[in-house]
A and B are shown apart, each in its own frame.
Chain A
Amino acid sequence: MRLSRRSKGMLGLGVSVTLAFIYIPLVVIAIYAFNGGTTLSWPLESVTTEWFGKALDNQGARDALWTSVRVGAAATGVALLLGTLASFAVARYRFFGRETVSFLVVLPLALPGIVTGVALSNTFTQVFGVDLSLFTVVVGHATFCIVVVYNNVIARLRRVSENLEEASADLGAHTWQTFRFVTFPNMRTALVAGGLLAFALSFDEIIVTTFTIGAGEQTLPIWIFSNLFRGQQFQLTNVVAVMAVLISIIPVYLAHRLTLEEGGATAGRGARGEAEIAEVTAVP
């Protein structure tokens, strides 16, 4: 688009404001991780790296991290299975109520977390009579993670032509062989990307977790939250916070790379940008 100098200037200003808005808080919290003083006042009184060592040694934070990893892995596993099954049905078959499936899958993420949390917690304790535990957290997380896998896989299935599968069948492959040798290799990276995003979503979740977790258990966000409220050890919380951001960025970056590469390979160059956005942003 041709832009006058003035509109270019205004656009540049808008872009800068938004980027500054996004990044200033992240930079500030990263600086606070080196806080050597005993208060949260700005500017810092002194600078230190001692809290990084203390955070790594902190048993509570380490246990919480391990719990988060286990919960995330289990929830991702369930979401991968259910999300893939649903996306196959919707992408490859015509049936009554097909549009409703997409709606149903999005619902747990579109409704406020507190609604999902209260509803599930209620059902677990009152209807099923199970005690809240890490298992109930996994069930809760898997429920809203399905959509991430679903969106990723369905975007891929729509781009990979059905003709390939038909050709495989015409050449005598049975359903399982077609899946194993034709369909699966084409959607492998979409599964990995969807899985990574589902993991990141679970890793960061706090509201549904609060309602479905058993007494005495802590995921990393719950640990950070309870330490924020206690007010003590805030230097430790700062450092764990920064580390948590770094850890949660890794799967997202990997997922982005994966869809970028694969998007270039399976779709035409022109469609690449949009397809990639569709997959990576397939958040809720």
Chain B
Amino acid sequence: MGRRLADLFHGRPRLQVGSLLAGPLGWLVILYLGSLGVMLIAAFWSVDALSGEISHTFSTDNFQTLIDDSVYRDVAQRTVLIAALVTLTDALLAFPIAFYMAKVASPRMKGTLVVAILMPLWSFYLVKVYAWQTMLSAGGVINWALDPIGLNGPGYGSTAVWLVESYLWLPFMILPIYAGLERIPNSLISASEDLGASPLTTFRRVILPLAFPAVVAGSIFTFSLTLGDYITPSLVSPDTQFIGNVVYNNIVNNLPLASAFATVPILVMVAYLFIARRLGAFEHL
């Protein structure tokens, strides 16, 4: 049986590729892209105000609502702003440790740090949010630690979302930057030093430009994951809405509107991926 099958495929590369790709592409194109397509179509439907039934007639009313109603605009702006802030914060927090791992630490230390950063990357998302929720609560660790110096923690709200999202996605930024810095040959750095550049100049003129695509690669995840999250905002910022919350809250009662609003993060991400590719980030994914 195996033999006969092998004979059939022998010398027929097209047949080989075709049968290799049939399963995965069938799954991803028909099921996944198909689902995204259905959602896009649903964005043009509407909900009958009287019966609450979905009416399958084409209209652009949902998008008109999203553009006209300032609430949705504010929500979208706030979400994109937080996602950008989280990305910036993570880049600043990630660079020193990634640099230390790639260029300074001993091989042994390097291995330890990689594990130390991989562990929290995979530990429960929900537990991490929960940990912050307890830490930020009125009687929590943060207020307790700040109290002696007369300060108060941020409590729940947009600042909390910024902190927690930065926390959640930080390892996604550290690892690509580390891998990107590893790729920079040490000889380039030595050459810069031998030519008399100060460490700061070497960093600014040699290391940073070469590592930038890796930073952009990491930013794809920090940005996208923040953009679509609705659980963190609902747990640490009950009174401020983000794109994810609005989509989630509308799913039961107004699926078409939820679908229309869900196209916002898709469009933002497609634009982001397009720019990231121009910056050469895809080789660092």
Contact status B251-A118, CB under 8 Å: yes
Does B58 have its Cβ within 8 Å of any Cβ on chain A?
A: no
Contact of A110 among B33, B167, B273 (CB under 8 A): B273
Contact status B135-A25, CB under 8 Å: yes
Contact status A112-B229, CB under 8 Å: yes
Contact status B31-A241, CB under 8 Å: no
Measured between C-beta atoms, what is the minimum distance from A158 to chain B in Å? Answer: 13
Does A61 have its Cβ within 8 Å of any Cβ on chain B?
A: no
Does B275 have its Cβ within 8 Å of any Cβ on chain A?
A: no
Measured between C-beta atoms, what is the minimum distance from B106 to chain A in Å? Answer: 12
Complex interface bits, A271-284 against B, C-beta within 8 A gives 1, otherwise 0: 00110111011011
Measured between C-beta atoms, what is the minimum distance from B133 to chain A in Å? Answer: 8
Contact status A228-B96, CB under 8 Å: no
CA distance A206 to B186 in the complex (A): 42
Contact of A108 among B3, B25, B32 (CB under 8 A): B32
Which of A1, A29, A177, A277 has the largest number of chain B CB atoms within 10 A?
A1
Number of interface residues of B (CB under 8 A): 106
Contact status A280-B118, CB under 8 Å: yes
Residues on A with beta carbons closer than 8 Å to the beta carbon of B119: 249, 252-253
Contact status A174-B231, CB under 8 Å: no
Contact status B128-A25, CB under 8 Å: yes
Partner-A contacts on B (CB < 8 A) = 2-3, 5-7, 9-10, 13-14, 16-17, 20-21, 23-25, 27-29, 31-36, 38-39, 42, 93-97, 99-100, 103-104, 107, 110-111, 114-128, 130-135, 137, 139-141, 144, 167, 170-172, 174-176, 178-179, 182-183, 186, 189, 193, 199-200, 202, 220-221, 224-225, 227-231, 235, 244, 247-248, 251, 255, 258-259, 262, 265-266, 269, 273, 285
Question: Can you name 19 extra interface pairs (CB under 8 A) apart from A112-B244, A119-B38?
Answer: A12-B100, A25-B131, A29-B130, A82-B24, A93-B13, A104-B33, A110-B224, A111-B265, A112-B225, A112-B229, A114-B229, A114-B262, A115-B266, A122-B38, A142-B27, A143-B28, A206-B126, A244-B124, A280-B114
20 pairs of residues in contact across A and B, judged by CB atoms under 8 Å: A4-B199, A17-B93, A18-B97, A18-B170, A28-B134, A28-B135, A40-B139, A93-B16, A93-B17, A107-B32, A114-B248, A116-B32, A122-B38, A175-B9, A228-B130, A237-B130, A241-B127, A242-B127, A260-B111, A274-B179
Partner-B contacts on A (CB < 8 A) = 1-4, 7, 10-15, 17-19, 21-23, 25-26, 28-29, 32, 39-43, 81-83, 85-86, 88-89, 93, 95, 101, 104-108, 110-116, 118-120, 122-123, 126-127, 139, 142-143, 146, 174-177, 197, 200-201, 204, 206-207, 211, 221, 224-225, 228, 237, 241-242, 244-245, 248-249, 251-253, 256, 260, 273-274, 276-278, 280-281, 283-284
